[in-house]
């Protein structure tokens, strides 16, 4: 207890935030009274520090190095500044672009970062208002900055915030930069000794430049320019949309209008940014109940298409009307949206040297689709930073065209515009895809069934085992170690043909804490701890050949039975 108490007291001396300082004083007082729960809380806050994961730095707001707060953000910004000055010769001139969402402390963290970077002599482009994460990723390249920062916790609950770092190419940092920045952060001493001139002073010196709405307008214009079939008439398409209390409304509504889709109905109770996300239990369109209000709006407006962003608008969820009178709307999976976009763009675009990409935990369907279309295919580690960098590498090394990439967690990137997932451009392209299908006398469901008949029906499911706190992390690590040491020989009656351990550098990808079990018949099970949440994620997939005259629903029923066998067998072993 004494070690953590001393660290907590030292933290209090430099904490500039009265809210987190008072929170820590209250916690220390409870510890002094012998409160076991308070002691456990203190231990978790001060045991180690938050680290960069698949989406940068993310954690619960609060005092301590294992929480998101102003002390940590100032040190991270200072470490980033030192790394840029050491590695980028013209870093001061090119500068860093900083954007933020509308969460608690997002503006405060972005302004603190601007003051730290400006204090180090690095020019800063500072967003004038909350905006989507993809706008920041795009603007880094547009402004020719050497790096970028986006303050966001994406789809996490209200108690979270985060800090994403982009390199000058507009993609999230990967080795060696992530490791180098982390090492630089570790050398930073007290946060209250970092030079932090006032913003107005930095503005007078030309070191902080406030951005304005014209930059966002340029982004929307370039999003609309991504349209693959601009002649398709979208005026008759009725769309229901929600930003889930996030920052997507201005961007998505504006982009759809510019792209020729004027009939957009936004759920009014969720249109404006609200850091408390009052109408949803969890602000992630993947979560049960999160889209209830927009689905009700869709039924009221008889919408042809339902679109939803997460709070920072880098993800997109899609729902379609059910088949038959009075049928409910049904959400598509991320895999389904991804392969629909890929198939559409491969069909209507030029048959040049081109590439599509996804992650190892997404469906294998995209690989089959790419082969059938004669396109190159890349499979990356989880996290869109890997897809963004794979696209850049492909364009540089193979002089080909990046068509699109996606990950099953509702993230999509179309073309070279944004080197991160972009729920704004994905919304425009999916609306166009819907209108394109309508113009040829088909529904989006018909299009999806056509894909299944071409390359097979892939049935997938993801199951997350949530284990919060340090004890939960230990449990997750133990489960991964157990499966590594004694992998099963079969699951659900299917023999395991190969075990690929990415932590050992197998599979041709950078080392990562991922286990892949390949079973007979193209079946697959993947295990990995989440990089941003206290979860052990397991991914299950079964491929079913669709008979010549077999209804898709019949093939799906067969696939679901096989998938359940696989899932239940694995979950039983997890315990």
Q: How many residues does the chain have?
A: 575
Quick one: CA torsion of 332, 338, 341, 345, rounded to 10 degrees?
Answer: -160
Q: Within 10 Å of residue 301's Cβ, how many Cβ atoms?
A: 15
Cα–Cα distance measured from residue 15 to residue 1, given in angstroms and rounded to the nearest whole number: 21
Give yes or no for a cis peptide into 176 (omega within 30° of 0): yes
Cα–Cα distance measured from residue 354 to residue 472, given in angstroms and rounded to the nearest whole number: 43
* 229 is annotated as an active-site residue: no
Cα–Cα distance measured from residue 413 to residue 421, given in angstroms and rounded to the nearest whole number: 5
Q: Which of 323, 293, 336, 526 is nearest to 449 (CA)?
A: 336
Q: Which of 278, 270, 262, 314 is nearest to 294 (CA)?
A: 270
Compute φ and ψ for 356, nearest 5 degrees.
-120, 155
The H or E element that residue 305 is part of is: strand 305-309
The answer to whether 278 touches 246, Cβ cutoff 8 Å, is no
The answer to whether 367 touches 345, Cβ cutoff 8 Å, is no
Query: Counting beta carbons within 10 angstroms of the beta carbon of residue 485, is it exposed (0 to 12), middle (13 to 18) or buried (19 or more)?
Result: exposed
The H or E element that residue 538 is part of is: strand 535-544
- Tell me the residue ranges of DSSP E strands in 17-122: 57-60, 96-100
The answer to whether 117 touches 79, Cβ cutoff 8 Å, is no
113, 154, 251, 425: which is the annotated catalytic residue? 154
Cα–Cα distance measured from residue 134 to residue 140, given in angstroms and rounded to the nearest whole number: 10
96 Cα distance to chain centroid: 21
Residue-by-residue DSSP string for 160-197: EEEEEEEETTSSBP-TTHHHHHHHHHHT---GGGS---
The answer to whether 412 touches 404, Cβ cutoff 8 Å, is yes
Pair type for strands 96-100 and 147-151: parallel
Q: With DSSP H G I counted as helix, E B as strand and the rest as coil, what are the percentages for the chain, rounded to 5? A: 45, 20, 35
Active site residues: 154
């Amino acid at each position: 207890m004494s070690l953590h108490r001393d660290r907590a007291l030292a933290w209090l001396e430099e904490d500039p935030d009265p809210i987190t300082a008072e929170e820590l004083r209250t916690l220390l007082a409870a510890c002094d009274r012998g409160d076991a729960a308070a002691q456990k809380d203190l231990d978790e806050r001060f045991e180690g520090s938050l680290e960069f994961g698949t989406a940068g730095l993310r954690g619960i707001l609060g005092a301590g190095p294992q929480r998101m707060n102003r002390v940590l953000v100032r040190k991270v910004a200072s470490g980033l500044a030192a790394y840029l000055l050491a590695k980028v010769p013209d870093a001061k001139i090119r500068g860093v672009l900083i954007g933020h969402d509308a969460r608690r402390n997002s503006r405060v963290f972005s302004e603190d970062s601007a003051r730290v970077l400006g204090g180090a002599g690095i020019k800063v482009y500072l967003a004038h208002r909350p905006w989507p994460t993809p706008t920041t990723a795009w603007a880094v390249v547009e402004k020719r900055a050497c790096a970028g920062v986006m303050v966001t916790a994406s789809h996490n609950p209200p108690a979270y915030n985060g800090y994403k770092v982009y390199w000058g190419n507009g993609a999230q940092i990967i080795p060696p930069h992530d490791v180098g920045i982390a090492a630089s952060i570790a050398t930073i001493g007290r946060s209250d000794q970092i030079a932090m001139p006032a913003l107005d002073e930095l503005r007078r010196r030309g070191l902080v430049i406030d951005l304005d709405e014209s930059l966002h307008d340029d982004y929307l214009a370039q999003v609309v320019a991504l349209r693959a079939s601009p002649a398709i008439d979208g005026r008759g398409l009725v769309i229901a949309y929600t930003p889930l209390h996030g920052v997507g409304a201005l961007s998505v509504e504006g982009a759809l209008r510019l792209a020729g889709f004027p009939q957009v109905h936004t759920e009014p109770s969720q249109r404006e940014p609200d850091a408390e996300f009052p109408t949803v239990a969890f602000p992630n369109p993947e979560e049960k109940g999160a889209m209830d209000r927009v689905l009700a709006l869709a039924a009221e407006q008889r919408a042809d298409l339902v679109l939803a962003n997460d709070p920072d608008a880098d993800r997109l969820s899609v729902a379609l009307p059910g088949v038959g009178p009075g049928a409910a709307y049904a959400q598509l999976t991320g895999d389904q949206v991804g392969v629909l976009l890929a198939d559409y763009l491969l069909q209507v675009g030029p048959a040049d040297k081109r590439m599509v990409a996804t992650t190892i935990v997404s469906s294998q369907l995209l690989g089959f689709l790419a082969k059938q279309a004669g396109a190159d295919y890349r499979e990356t580690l989880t996290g869109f930073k890997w897809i963004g960098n794979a696209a850049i590498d492909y364009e540089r090394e193979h002089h080909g065209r990046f068509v699109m990439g996606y990950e099953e967690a509702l993230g999509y990137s179309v073309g070279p515009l944004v080197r991160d997932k972009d729920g704004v451009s994905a919304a425009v392209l999916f609306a166009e895809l819907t209108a394109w299908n309508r113009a040829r006398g088909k529904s989006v469901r018909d299009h999806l069934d056509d894909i299944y008949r071409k390359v097979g029906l892939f049935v997938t499911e993801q199951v997350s085992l949530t284990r919060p706190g340090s004890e939960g992390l230990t449990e997750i690590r133990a489960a991964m170690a157990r499966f590594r040491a004694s992998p099963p020989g079969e699951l659900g009656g299917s023999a395991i043909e190969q075990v690929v351990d990415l932590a050992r550098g197998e599979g041709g990808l950078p080392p990562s804490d991922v286990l892949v079990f390949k079973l007979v018949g193209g079946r697959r099970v993947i295990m990995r701890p989440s990089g941003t949440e206290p979860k052990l994620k397991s991914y299950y997939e079964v491929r079913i050949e669709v008979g010549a005259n077999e209804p898709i629903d019949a093939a799906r029923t067969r696939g679901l039975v096989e998938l359940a066998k696989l899932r239940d067998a694995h979950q039983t072993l997890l315990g």
